[in-house]
Every structure is written in C-alpha cells, then in structure tokens.
Amino acid sequence: MLDSNALQQLSQLKDNIRSEKNLSEGTIRGSQGRYGFVVLDDGREAFLPPDEMARVLPGDRVEVSVSEAENKDGSKDSDRINAELDKLLQSAHKVVIGRYVIRGKGHFVAIDMPQLSRWIFLPPKARGKAKEGDYLKCRITRHPFEDGKGQAKVLDVLGNDNVVGIEHLVTCQKHNLNSGWSKQEHSEAEKAGAIELTALSDYEQRAKLQDVPFVTIDSETTRDMDDALFAQASGEGWRLTVAIADPTSSIATKSPLDRAAWQRANTAYLPGKAITMLPEQLSHQHYSLVAGEQRPALLCHMHISTEGAIDSHEFEFGIIRSAHKLSYEKVATYLEQQDESAVPADTQSLLKVLSDCSTALNSYRQNHMLLMEERDDFDLVLDDKQHIADIKRQGRNLAQQIVEESMLAANRSAGDLFAKHPGAGIFSAHQGFRSERLQNIRNVIAKDYPDLAELDPTGLEGYKALIKALHQRPEAAGQLAALRLMLQAGLLTTEAQPHLGLGMQHYATITSPIRRYNDLHNHRALRAILEDRNIEAPDAEQLADMQTRISTTRAAARDLEQWLYCLYMQQHQGKQLQAKVFRINNQGITARLVDWGITGFIKMDNKTFKYDADRMTLTGEEQSYKLEQDITVEVDKIDLEKKRVNFKLV
C-alpha cells in the first residue's frame, strides 16, 4: 500500500503532467466517417482520430489536449490542430434512439444520430422483448469514454418496418417532439375555445370590421389560417390591412397552455402530419380565420405608396369575418391566366388590387432591400403506408407573392415600432457572414471582383451593395451560392438589430401567432405598447432555448423527409435525372434533383480535382464544377441505415 507521501507525490506528478498539456474545453462534432472533431470554446476545430472518437458521442462536452498537426515532412502546421481526450465533462445523450442489430453473438443498438456510425452493446438482461430489426428507445447505462465500449438498456420497443408510420414515430421520439396534451392543458384549451367574442375583456374597445371582405390565401389543405388580407387602391397608392389571428385574446401569459406553447416554440410541419404549437381545436378552429366566422384579430393597417414604400402603419385589435378561403393555385390561375371561374366573382377586384400592391412592394424591396432566393416548393404526396407516392414540384406564383409581400410588410412595420420601444418585442435579426469566413470572403472579393473590395460586408449597407452587385453579374452565380452557404443562422433578440439577409433595418415576425411562440409574444408586446404599459420580454437564455427548440423541429422535418426520400429513391435506382450542384466539399458534390428536390452525394477523386473552399469549386484538367451548375446524374446507391442517397455523374 502506498503511504501518504507516495500518494502526494503521485498526485503532484499528475498535476505536473496536466499543467504541461495544452488543455481546452469543447463540444464533440461527428462526421460521415469514423473520425470526428472537437469544436473548441474559442471557435477552433480540432481533429479527433477514430480511436478517440469511439469514446464519445456528438454533443458531449469534453476537455482535450490540443497540439499542432504535423505535415508529411515533420514540420508543424499551425492551421491544423489535433485533439486527445482528457476528461468527459458532460454527456448530451442519456437516452438514444436506434435499431436492434445482431452481428455474430453480439447484440447492439445502432444509434440513429447525425454524423455518427456507432453501435452500443445490449447486455442480455437489458434487451427485454426486443427483436432484431426493431426500432428502440434505449438508455445509455455505460458511457464509452473509458474504453470505447458503451452499454445500453432497452426502455421501449417503438416497432419495426411493418408498422405504418414507423418513420414518423421514430423521428418524433428521436427529436423528443411531444404530440400529446396533458389533462390540464386540454381542459384549458376547451375553456379558451368556449369563450364568446362578446365576453372578451376588451370587446368594446376592438374595431368591428366584420363587414370588410377579408380573404385568406393559403394551401388548399391548410387549416391553421393565421392571416387574412384586404386592400383598397387610391391615387396615392394602397391602404393594405393584414388581419392576424389573435390567440392572446384568451390565452393568459404563463398559464399552463401558454407554457406548453412556449415549450414547443413552434408548429412542427412533418410530412403527412403537423405537431401543432397549440391544441388543434384552437389552432384549426377557434383562432383560425375560418371563412364566414367572426374571429378576434390583430390588425396592421399600412399605407403603401405607388413606389411600394410603407409610408405609415397603425396597429389595433379588432373583430373580423373572413369572406372566403382561397388557395394559392386558384388565385394564381385567376391572376396569371385570367380564368374568372377559378375564384368567386366578389373577390376578383380585391385580388387585382392585392396583386398590384404586392408588385409595388416587391419592386421596392428589389430596389432598396434584398429579395430572398426563390426556390421551388415540393409537395410530398403520401400513400397508405405514409411513404412517398409522388412529389409535385411547385414554382412561385403571383398568389404566393401577394401573401409573402403582405406578411413581410406587416413584420417590417412591427420591427420599426418595436425599435421605438426597446425591450418589448422579439426581433428576427440576421448578422450576415460567419465571422471565421469573413477574411476569406474579403480575399476572394478583392481578387475576383476588385471594384467591390472597399465594401464592408459586415454592415447592412455594405452587405446589400455586395449582394446586389454580384446579382447583376451572371458569371457570379456560383460565388453568390457559395456566399449563401457561409451565412450565419438567424437570431432572435430583444435588441433592435438589422436583418442582413432581407436587407432590412428592423424585422419582427407577428403574422403566425398560432404557429410560432415569438409571434405570440410579439402580439402581447404590441398590446402593451398600445396600452402604454411595460411587458417582460424573454432574456438571452430564454431566447437561446427557444431557438434551440425551433432548430429541433426543423431538424426533425429534414430527418423524416430524408428517410422517406431514401425509401422513394429505391424504386428509381439506375434512373438518369437532371440536377444542379447544391454543395461542394473536398470529397465531392452534393446534387439536388430539379424535379424532386432530393439531394444526393457524388464521390469525386480528390487527386484529380482541386478543391477551392472559398469559391466552393472543384477544378480538374478536363472538367470543373461550381455551385448551381446543371448536371445529369444517375441514382447509384441508397444507404437506409445512414439515410443517404448516392448519385454518380453521367
């Protein structure tokens, strides 16, 4: 047995060894291979070799020893760093979703997790009644950090491939999407739905606009209708009114129902089914602006000039009754093909006024702000098995422009008002390019477009000028696509910050309060401003939490779509299809099918092609590739386990 002096010396030796290491903390990020990375807290990325990656899971917080990588000649490369695991600080995954696999005598759960290829051992007593091929919900009982050999226990068997809708169920479990409601929440929803308009506390003060012929324009199948439109033309432009569903009329702040909506953060639109932020009887009926029914609404009145500028805006709460529920398809048929049978006769003059107003708004944004990249929408038609039976490609049309421009105008107006009342509303901000890419972007612009080198891409005016200038140069289409991939994600903040992506000084969404919680809060903030009182806004931590949950629902939708895409593409193996280059990295090309919107990877020989990370191009002696380039691909392989589609070039 070691005496106290020996133990003290051993402890001192360990401390000395640790002090000599270059230790840093960070978060594990996986990859498509067996290796991984540690995203260090200072923003750097350190490479984690396969043996080390086998000891951790993506999202784990770790302490690592970092060192400069070596070149082939033995010299140090300060631009690349390696990591060696030192300590597990916190594991992000206590419960995992995966599939039961058997290899030889070993029983495992193959964890379904982005950028991870990992099986965890299931001991005999931890398997329950699960069978090979079942989708499982498991608890990690032994983390693999010590020796790379983790263990798990089956908590629940979700089903197998014979269960209709198993893909939906597994995805919801994987992303922890709650589709049920507690008895208390359900009871409160029933009470809210039973409140008569005349019983609202502010009924007498509300504007009564039941006789104004508002219309809703949405998808044919939409039931949670947030907004209705009305406009009148004058010699000076248009008076545009956006009426928005008003859940704040009967959902109290911090009530059980409000807390449930806060926890969900937004409605998750998954293929074949939506998991609503509010109970369906409220989002589809009581608050939805159903045609012919009186509904409480927030009203945004705007005067739009003939040039498309918002000269003034005014908010108030009121009561409306939508006259008609119209669909994008039929409104577009009327406006673009002059087919009067497509829409009711009493809506036709209004639709023409709305179309003229939206065209002016669009033109103004094109001249003074930035237009978003237009992409086709893809409608997934599911069969009885909840698998894809068909994919319908839908281009942009005039009906969508009417709704989009009206919503953007209302949100801009809210942003401008909140900017005058700091701390009340939640802004949707966008800070432009990722900071670590800025110098590379500046270098590319200086070399390829020297006349634009003096522009500051970090500020609103400089960013707008850069994007507009590149848009006017057809040869810059690939570089514009590359720049879009270098942008930061959007940001929710109570500070009045610009939205660079839209080219707007202020932007705050208010048009979807039965689908997004930040819009619901903003309705309360507008009410507080109108009543000249203060409101408690979410703090930075609460906003970050909300953004995380919003990102989770988006990731779940992408996850389920990709799974269904893989199943759909199995029947098209060997088929040649038209595609565009969507992404490029040093391993190859991600192509996006023109008619279906499905992406797949094309492995390229990195010895034949030179990869330019700043321009996102692959250059070879005979052939080169850049973003947005038209190519023809053949469906090669479908990897259902990793949910990947592989193409090959024709």
Q: Residue 18: which pLDDT band, with cuts at 50, 70 and 90?
A: very low
Q: Where does the pLDDT of residue 68 fall: very low under 50, low under 70, confident under 90, or very high at 90 and above? A: confident
Helices (H), 485-580: 517-530, 540-569
The third-level CATH classification (topology) of the domain covering 573-649 is OB fold (Dihydrolipoamide Acetyltransferase, E2P) (2.40.50)
Please identify which residue in the block is written with the tokens 């970050």: 544
How confident is the model at residue 570, as a pLDDT?
96
3-state helix, strand and coil shares in percent for the chain, rounded to the nearest 5: 35, 30, 35
- The C-alpha atoms of residue 181 and residue 168 are separated, in whole angstroms, by 18
Q: Give the separation between CA 128 and CA 152, rounded to whole angstroms.
A: 12
Residue 170: exposed, middle, or buried by beta-carbon count in 10 A (0-12, 13-18, 19+)?
A: buried
Q: Is 513 exposed, middle or buried (0-12, 13-18, 19+ CB in 10 A)?
A: buried
Is 60 exceeded by the pLDDT of residue 545? yes
222 within 8 A of 284, measured Cβ to Cβ = no
pLDDT band at 33 (very low <50, low <70, confident <90, very high): confident
Q: Is 228 helix (H, G, I), strand (E, B) or coil?
A: strand
pLDDT of residue 574: 95
pLDDT given at position 77: 64
Q: Do domains 21-90 and 573-649 have the same CATH topology?
A: yes
Q: Which two structure tokens, joined as six digits, stand for 315?
A: 């908010």
The predicted model gives 350-364 an average pLDDT of: 98
- Residue 98 confidence (pLDDT): 95
User: For 631-645, how does the pLDDT look when each residue is reduced to its tens digit (9 = 90+)?
Assistant: 999 999 999 988 999
Task: Give CA–CA dist 259/492, Å, rounded.
Answer: 19
Where exactly are the structural domains of the chain? Answer: 21-90, 95-160, 183-429+505-560, 435-487, 573-649
Question: Which of the residue ranges 75-89, 113-127, 168-182, 354-368 would you say has the lowest mean pLDDT?
Answer: 75-89
pLDDT value, residue 11? 56
Q: Which residue has the tokens 């400069």?
A: 68
Residue 350 · residue 331 · CB < 8 Å: no
Name the fold adopted by 95-160.
OB fold (Dihydrolipoamide Acetyltransferase, E2P) (2.40.50)
CA distances from 156 to 94, 119, 164, 177 (A): 14, 17, 18, 16
d(CA 467, CA 503): 10
What are the tens digits of pLDDT across the range 470-526? 999 999 999 999 999 999 999 999 999 999 999 999 999 999 999 999 999 999 999
Contacts from 255-261 at CB under 8 Å and sequence distance 24+? 255/188, 256/182, 256/184, 256/185, 256/188, 257/185, 257/188, 257/189, 257/192, 260/181, 260/182, 260/185, 261/517, 261/520
Residue 117 has pLDDT above 70, yes or no: yes
Global pTM value: 0.90
Q: How far is CA 613 from the centre of its chain?
A: 24
Q: What is the mean pLDDT of residues 554-566?
A: 96
Q: Across all residues in the chain, what is the average pLDDT? A: 93
The rounded percent of the chain whose pLDDT value lies above 90 is 85
Q: 62-76, 136-150, 188-202, 609-623 — which is least confidently predicted?
A: 62-76
Considering only CA atoms, which of 592, 171, 601 is closest in space to residue 393? 592
Tens digit of pLDDT for each residue in 398-432?
Answer: 999 999 999 999 999 999 999 999 999 999 999 99
Confidence tier at 137 by pLDDT (50, 70, 90): very high
C-alpha 401/C-alpha 147 separation (Å) is 57
Domain 21-90: give its CATH code.
2.40.50.140
**Residue 459 above 60 pLDDT?**
yes
Closest to 471 (Cα-Cα) out of 374, 349, 341: 374
Q: What is the 3-state secondary structure (H, E, C) of 281-339?
A: HHHHHHCCCCCCCEEEEEEEEEEEECCCCEEEEEEEEEEEECCEEEEHHHHHHHHHHCC
